Amino acid sequence: MCPPDRIAVHAEDTAVAGHAPSPELVADLVAANHILFDQGVVDAFGHISVRHDKRPDRFLLARNMAPGNVTAADIVEFDLDGNPVNAGGRKVYLERFIHSEIFRVRPDVMSVVHSHSHNIVPLSVVKGVKLRAIFHMAGFIGQAAPVFEIREAAGNGTDLLISDNALGAALAAKFVDVDIALMRGHGSTVVANSVPLAVYRAVYAELNARYQLQASSLGEVEYLTPEEGLACTNRVEGQVQRPWDLWKAESAKRRAS
């Protein structure tokens, strides 16, 4: 297990915060943290970010903490080098560079989810087996989600964590034309053009992985074709507000009780 100072770090604020993000955006980011925990995508670890709605060169991410406990007061602003703007001495996630470097190279991405969801990890380590779209709710996965191999970027003997800009950039290079990448022995990262869609994709990627593992134990799997994957993505993801509203209401009710 990594020592605590390799999971969370103190980072000095390096810039002055400008216009505050909209309260609605912050509220959605808080809700997203809770939903991802409630849906079993993250546990005490993992994180979701959103691009600042008034400054595209900034993004919002919780301070270092368990996602299920995040509040609006825990949200920190960062620049695209991963430097905090208003952490105020609070510890931040070591792996914030996952988010900063993807936001840097993908201007269309508005939200990033990084998790270690339980059914994804086995598919990141078995040679010759790829995470593939197996049902219509996860057509965005496509024919073979790429796997980030950290040894290619940093050699043998790392702790597998994305702990600096260079490693973040190496991971971000996997997202040229895909919206999900697995990380060998680590987990996965998912991107989208909104917080609700990023949450949707993270939830259904985990479900797809579970179904793929189950189906593989029964026999040969019939995966979605490329054409089916595209059609399903266009059709189903147009309905993302439906699960988002449901999950958000369930999450709020659970925390109010």
Q: Just list the catalytic residues.
A: 95
SS3 186: coil
DSSP class of residue 116?
-
DSSP class of residue 249?
H
Q: Are 44 and 66 in contact (CB under 8 A)?
A: yes
Q: Tell me the helix, strand and coil percentages in the chain, rounded to 5.
A: 45, 15, 40
How far is it, in rounded angstroms, from Cα 28 to Cα 31?
5
- Which residue in 208, 209, 196 sits closest to 237, CA to CA? 196
Length reported for the chain = 257
The amino acid at 39: Q
DSSP class of residue 19?
S
Q: What angle do the packed helices 195-216 and 241-256 form, to 10 degrees? A: 100
Q: What are phi and psi of 155, to 5 degrees?
A: 80, 180
How far is it, in rounded angstroms, from Cα 85 to Cα 15?
5
Q: Are 67 and 29 in contact (CB under 8 A)?
A: no
Tokens 């191999």 -> residue = 149
